[in-house]
Structure 1
Amino acid sequence: MPNRILLVEDDREISQLIESHLTQENYIVCTAFDGDEASALFQREKFDLILLDLMLPKLNGMELLKRIRETSVVPVLIISAKDSDLDKVMGLGFGADDYLNKPFSMAVLTARVQAAIRRATQYIQTDNSHQEDPRTIQFKDLILDLHLFSVQVRGQVIQLTSKEFQILKLFLSYPSRVFTKEQIYQLIWEDDYLGNENAINVHIRRLREKIEEDPSSPQYIRTIWGIGYKLGD
């Protein structure tokens, strides 16, 4: 079954170009040209990934992203001509999984789309040949359900983005290991680390805000100064 993508782009020429290319790559692409139209489509239909421009009429991209994250962890890839660090930090901070600056090649876009969908689905696909694999991973009162792609903290279900879930799963899977920012980026983003720490810093901060009782004194994800991060204790 082909993956379904919601493309939110107000430039109709760019939208048509992306839609045509991704359709050739065997994706089903639904298009929206403003934030309100995209919000209505998202509420009615199920998508495997959202490609989101930031500069949209009616409801802007950041506000739409915040609405999506209120109810869903669907991967969101921002495609925008706004390339400042502030825009990237805000986008990632509001829950985007990746950020791609315009102009970009269709080959790069396709690779990012494939990677985002792969990362989001690998944790929820069950495989009858791996029945002995653990369904959950637990640390203190933090529980990850690898089949349902859900997280509970102190008995409360927490909504995480796909990357936040992957980062948390990484730490819980290797509880005694310290990960550098470069290692986290390479393992989660599956890309070369170019020294930009914003993506890691923003995702760790957002993750702490969701799972820690006191994010300023984290008990689950601890900072190892000068090296990186590790699971608590």
Structure 2
Amino acid sequence: MKRVLIIEDEKPIAELERDYFELHGFAADLVHDGEDGLNMALSGSYDLILLDLNLPGADGLDVCRAIRDKLDVPILIVSARDEEIDKIRGFGLGADDYITKPFSPSELIARAKAHLARYERFTSRAAAAGPELDQIQVRELLIDKASRRVYVRGEEVLLPAREFDVLVFMATHPNRVFSKDELFERLWGFDSAGDIATVAVHIRRVREKIEAVPSNPQFIETVWGAGYRFTV
């Protein structure tokens, strides 16, 4: 049984989310404070985390960052904040999805299942790949897929789960141009035009960590009018 942690200060909404998850075969725990939610999340016993942003105790975005720094589990933000900047910040801090209130409980469950399935696919593919496929070496960049670690000139750089997925996807499809829409569909799994901007945010953050000069990238290049290309 998959376990879900719901970090939501509005008790009626939290209880509605719990009821729907339990109806669909999940076990769900509720917590109504940001700091308490973070502590429970870091126990590592949950398969998926639902996170509100307006929380007492700790801001939801700070909680998202702290969880992503430690754990590789799907994080779905569910918030009344509907400004594009909030969505971009949430994705940039490692959230896997952003759902605005009011929401359809059925859609919430569908998105949660889709993200869990995506994480399981990535995990199973990594396990199935032989040792010879576990690492990608391109000049001074080394990507260790098995341990989900990245090294540049021998020094480890830390990439949250989504940034790592973006880098691995592009590095395993070298010299091919992907549009923002294609990357969003392949990596996020939802064709939602309003969130396409998160692709550029993640590309920028990856460049800042792997490129010697992020403004003049040598690995992830911009192909103007077309998208992005990982150059080998």
TM-score, structure 1 normalization: 0.89
In structure 1, how many angstroms separate the alpha carbons of the residues matched to 2:133 and 2:34? 40
**Per the alignment, do residues 25 and 140 of structure 1 end up closer, same or farther by CA in structure 2, a change over 3 Å counting?**
farther
Question: In structure 1, what is the equivalent of residue 153 of structure 2?
Answer: 154
Structure 1 letter corresponding to 2:86: D
**Per the alignment, do residues 200 and 129 of structure 1 end up closer, same or farther by CA in structure 2, a change over 3 Å counting?**
closer
**Is structure 2 residue 2 aligned with structure 1 residue 7?**
no
Per-residue deviation, residues 104-125 of structure 1 (Å, max 9, x unmatched): 1122111211222222232222
**Is structure 2 residue 107 aligned with structure 1 residue 108?**
yes
**Residue-pair matches, total:** 232
1:78 Cα deviation after fit? 0.7
1:154 Cα deviation after fit? 2.7
Question: In structure 1, what is the equivalent of residue 68 of structure 2?
Answer: 69
Question: In structure 1, what is the equivalent of residue 221 of structure 2?
Answer: 222
Question: Secondary structure, in 3 states, of the residue corresponding to 1:160?
Answer: coil
Task: Provide the aligned C-alpha RMSD in A.
Answer: 2.2
Question: In structure 1, what is the equivalent of residue 82 of structure 2?
Answer: 83
Question: In structure 2, what is the equivalent of residue 53 of structure 1?
Answer: 52
Question: Secondary structure, in 3 states, of the residue corresponding to 1:13?
Answer: helix
Residue range with higher mean Cα deviation, 18-27 or 75-84? 18-27
Equivalent residues in 2 for 1:1-233 (5 A)?
2-125=1-124, 131=130, 134-194=133-193, 196-232=195-231
Structure 2 letter corresponding to 1:115: A
Residue range with higher mean Cα deviation, 113-122 or 124-133? 124-133
**Per the alignment, do residues 168 and 124 of structure 1 end up closer, same or farther by CA in structure 2, a change over 3 Å counting?**
same
**Per the alignment, do residues 65 and 128 of structure 1 end up closer, same or farther by CA in structure 2, a change over 3 Å counting?**
closer
Are the aligned partners of 2:49 and 2:75 in contact in 1 as well (CA < 8 Å)?
yes
Residue range with higher mean Cα deviation, 35-44 or 66-75? 66-75
1:16 Cα deviation after fit? 0.8
**Percent identity of paired positions between Structure 1 and Structure 2:** 37
Per-residue deviation, residues 44-68 of structure 1 (Å, max 9, x unmatched): 3432221110000111101212222
1:23 Cα deviation after fit? 1.8
Are the aligned partners of 1:124 and 1:146 in contact in 2 as well (CA < 8 Å)?
no
**Tell me, which stretches of 5 or more residues in structure 1 are unaligned?**
none
1:205 Cα deviation after fit? 1.4
In structure 1, how many angstroms separate the alpha carbons of the residues matched to 2:118 and 2:86? 24
Question: Secondary structure, in 3 states, of the residue corresponding to 2:167?
Answer: helix
Are the aligned partners of 1:62 and 1:91 in contact in 2 as well (CA < 8 Å)?
yes
1:13 Cα deviation after fit? 0.8
**Tell me, which stretches of 5 or more residues in structure 2 are unaligned?**
none
Structure 2 letter corresponding to 1:76: I
**Per the alignment, do residues 128 and 200 of structure 1 end up closer, same or farther by CA in structure 2, a change over 3 Å counting?**
closer
In structure 2, how many angstroms separate the alpha carbons of the residues matched to 1:220 and 1:33? 43
Residue range with higher mean Cα deviation, 121-130 or 190-199? 121-130
**Per the alignment, do residues 186 and 133 of structure 1 end up closer, same or farther by CA in structure 2, a change over 3 Å counting?**
farther
Are the aligned partners of 1:6 and 1:47 in contact in 2 as well (CA < 8 Å)?
yes
Structure 1 letter corresponding to 2:24: E
Are the aligned partners of 1:72 and 1:159 in contact in 2 as well (CA < 8 Å)?
no
